[in-house]
Chains A and B, each alone.
Chain A
């Protein structure tokens, strides 16, 4: 694989950079809902993203995790400006791009690229791989040294595809290879930031690792910053230096990898981590806390008042309903580890003396005492 790229090689892998490449403040997106009688009017809004703060440093990889409906994908689409924000501010390299028009956005567009979840539908089936990868260069009028075609071949080789396959069509490739094509297309313009929205979740387990490794290589060797959006906590942990956890449109906790995965404070982060099924390759993995929430995530159309997690939280008190907890570095957190919670948990993921079981069905079945806990 060729490493002699035309990209400036940066040392991106060494922890969070202090220099912010992307700065998001109070980002909000509400999708209006129309209805009513007799005249249709706006009757409400899906509060998909609500007041989100997020920073991505130069060359840094930031993970964004959460369950469906938490607004992580919408956040990604707002940052790449595929969606128009309702409120807040997006700053890229010191430049406010929140409502930048097409013309103003053009130079930024080439620096922020996106990789999508579904490698089947995000590639035009009627175009050859060469055309697909070349088109961002054509649109942006970029003429690399040696011509576009040479650059495409370089990119194909970089992502681990045969450069001879330049003239093939997407359907001739497997799922993993198609996602590689998506990566090559994203790299075509030498981006500084890649927003990857569930880039591996449509792939088979054995193929996922290939793509994760490729992305990691790209991130580390080319110093490209990543916003890695995924629901798979283990993949995010593997990839990201810093991680933000979202719930119902809000960031509830953000911090470096170790803080989030080993010293989480927000009850939701605890619940999320505890819910991940782990392969028991040794005895250690079995000493994890067990938290089982009740029910599903509430609707983002009318989210709970105060703390949005309170309706499913075992620590919720009256204060949680009236007062929204701010995202702060609460006592006991390390530098840069922010938690939005009035009654945070202990910074440990070890098994508790008593499991937290909120689900009424599980509670009932397990109270009978006929169920062994493991």
Chain B
């Protein structure tokens, strides 16, 4: 049994240790229907060797954010404003040639569906060896040896022969292992994992998540882990950012956010998902309505049309004034700190039993 513990005064993640700092990032796409505000004023930091979890539903802007970090958005239809500072270097203004040197080297990425994210036309070994040759100048032979070494590390059986297999000859779990091998081949400082286990079966997911954690200890990479699954994030992340409608609505350590959430959206997420240890006698508490359109997001707080606590805020601040997200442990909500605490203890916590 838990009782609500007092906030343990963790310092803001904006320390000198944070080597990736995203500041007031705004990403807009122009589409036929209008301007999509995919990311709207997002700030976060990633510390060296730590894992930042970003959780959100489809359309929350979590994937777009990370494609933008690597500069993989379509420059013709996308405008990016704000700063993405990687060890002080602003990636938003870094030219493509320079970005190529960073990608796969200092910053690597793992995608959701390893079947479509690996090329069907080249062997797994070649796809792993390619970035190694490019970034370290290794010979073909050295890169191949490195690929075998990486495949061994991620647990592919008979790596010496399987290095010459094509992705379709691998099973789903093995493909994602190969993808991880490919991402880690140059020992990156930052690994961006975009829903890396969503396409996998649960027992395979557990293997891959543990593998990622174990490899992180060995390689010392920081990880940005994007997912819609709070269970996975609870397992993987040190810090957590909850995104909604292109904005960050809550931030803190995973422990803080999942045990004493302060934003009504986080409350909604937690009480709408069934858990293995949860009660089965009471119905789930869904979040009413559906996620907002990014073409025409709601005014004020983007969550207000679905929020059940707007009446506790004086006047119409929720629909007119956009709540800010402070530094460190914070939630972008107009409710006062006491209100948040009482509502959580009285109304939300009992549902999580």
Q: Is B80 an interface residue (CB 8 A)?
A: no
Asked if A279 contacts B231 (CB within 8 A), the reply is: yes
Q: Is B272 an interface residue (CB 8 A)?
A: yes
Contact segment of A103-111, A141-149, A233-241:
A233-241
Contact segment of B26-34, B153-161, B184-192, B330-338:
B153-161
Asked if A234 contacts B2 (CB within 8 A), the reply is: no
Contact segment of B6-14, B124-132, B274-282:
B274-282
Whole-angstrom CA separation of A327 from B232 in the bound complex: 33
Asked if A234 contacts B213 (CB within 8 A), the reply is: no
Contact segment of A22-30, A183-191, A289-297:
A289-297
Asked if A206 contacts B229 (CB within 8 A), the reply is: no
Asked if A274 contacts B153 (CB within 8 A), the reply is: no
Asked if A283 contacts B201 (CB within 8 A), the reply is: no
Task: Given A216-B283, A233-B202, A296-B204, decide whether A209 and B273 contact each other with a Cβ distance below 8 A.
Answer: yes
Asked if B203 contacts A371 (CB within 8 A), the reply is: no
Task: Given A209-B273, A237-B276, A295-B171, decide whether A277 and B205 contact each other with a Cβ distance below 8 A.
Answer: yes
Contact segment of A132-140, A317-325, A356-364:
A356-364
Q: Mark A343-363, 1 if CB is under 8 A from B, else 0.
A: 000000000000000011110
Task: Given A205-B269, A277-B235, A295-B171, decide whether A361 and B203 contact each other with a Cβ distance below 8 A.
Answer: no
Q: Is A207 an interface residue (CB 8 A)?
A: yes
**Among residues 272 to 303 in chain B, which have CB atoms less than 8 Å away from a CB atom of chain A?**
272-278, 280, 283-288, 290-291
Name the contact of B284 in the complex, choosing from A174, A213, A257, A273 (C-beta under 8 A). Answer: A213
Asked if B270 contacts A281 (CB within 8 A), the reply is: yes
Asked if B1 contacts A284 (CB within 8 A), the reply is: yes
Task: Given A205-B228, A212-B284, A295-B173, decide whether A279 and B215 contact each other with a Cβ distance below 8 A.
Answer: no
Asked if A371 contacts B214 (CB within 8 A), the reply is: yes
Within 8 Å CB of A366, what residues of B? 214
Asked if B283 contacts A213 (CB within 8 A), the reply is: yes
Within 8 Å CB of B291, what residues of A? 204, 206
Asked if B202 contacts A67 (CB within 8 A), the reply is: yes
Whole-angstrom distance from the CB of B189 to the nearest CB of chain A? 19
Asked if A278 contacts B1 (CB within 8 A), the reply is: no
Q: Is B311 an interface residue (CB 8 A)?
A: no
Q: Is B230 an interface residue (CB 8 A)?
A: yes
Within 8 Å CB of B215, what residues of A? 365
Name the contact of A206 in the complex, choosing from B1, B210, B269 (C-beta under 8 A). Answer: B269
Whole-angstrom CA separation of A365 from B210 in the bound complex: 10
Asked if A233 contacts B173 (CB within 8 A), the reply is: no
Whole-angstrom CA separation of A361 from B228 in the bound complex: 27
Q: Is A342 an interface residue (CB 8 A)?
A: no
Within 8 Å CB of A67, what residues of B? 201-204
Classify chain A's interface size: 35 or more
Whole-angstrom CA separation of A274 from B203 in the bound complex: 8
Q: Is A77 an interface residue (CB 8 A)?
A: no
Q: Is A39 an interface residue (CB 8 A)?
A: no
Whole-angstrom distance from the CB of A26 to the nearest CB of chain B? 26
Whole-angstrom CA separation of A212 from B205 in the bound complex: 24
Q: Is B352 an interface residue (CB 8 A)?
A: yes
Q: Is B93 an interface residue (CB 8 A)?
A: no
Within 8 Å CB of A271, what residues of B? 203
Asked if A296 contacts B283 (CB within 8 A), the reply is: no
Beta-carbon nearest neighbor of B306 in chain A: A206
Within 8 Å CB of A276, what residues of B? 202, 231, 276
Task: Given A359-B155, A362-B207, decide whether A281 and B171 contact each other with a Cβ distance below 8 A.
Answer: no
Name the contact of B290 in the complex, choosing from A68, A176, A234, A362 (C-beta under 8 A). Answer: A176
Within 8 Å CB of B217, what residues of A? 365, 370-372
Q: Is A43 an interface residue (CB 8 A)?
A: no
Q: Is B316 an interface residue (CB 8 A)?
A: no
Whole-angstrom distance from the CB of A273 to the nearest CB of chain B? 7
Asked if A209 contacts B201 (CB within 8 A), the reply is: no
Whole-angstrom distance from the CB of B221 to the nearest CB of chain A? 14
Asked if A296 contacts B273 (CB within 8 A), the reply is: no
Within 8 Å CB of A213, what residues of B? 283-284, 286
Q: Is A82 an interface residue (CB 8 A)?
A: no
Asked if A278 contacts B274 (CB within 8 A), the reply is: no
Asked if B218 contacts A365 (CB within 8 A), the reply is: yes
Q: Mark A183-205, 1 if CB is under 8 A from B, else 0.
A: 00000000000000000000011
> B: which residues have CB within 8 A of A?
1-2, 57-58, 153-155, 157, 171-174, 177, 201-207, 209-211, 213-215, 217-218, 228-232, 234-235, 255, 258-259, 268-270, 272-278, 280, 283-288, 290-291, 352
A-B contact pairs, 9 of them (CB 8 A): A67-B203, A206-B286, A208-B286, A233-B202, A237-B276, A271-B203, A272-B202, A296-B204, A360-B157
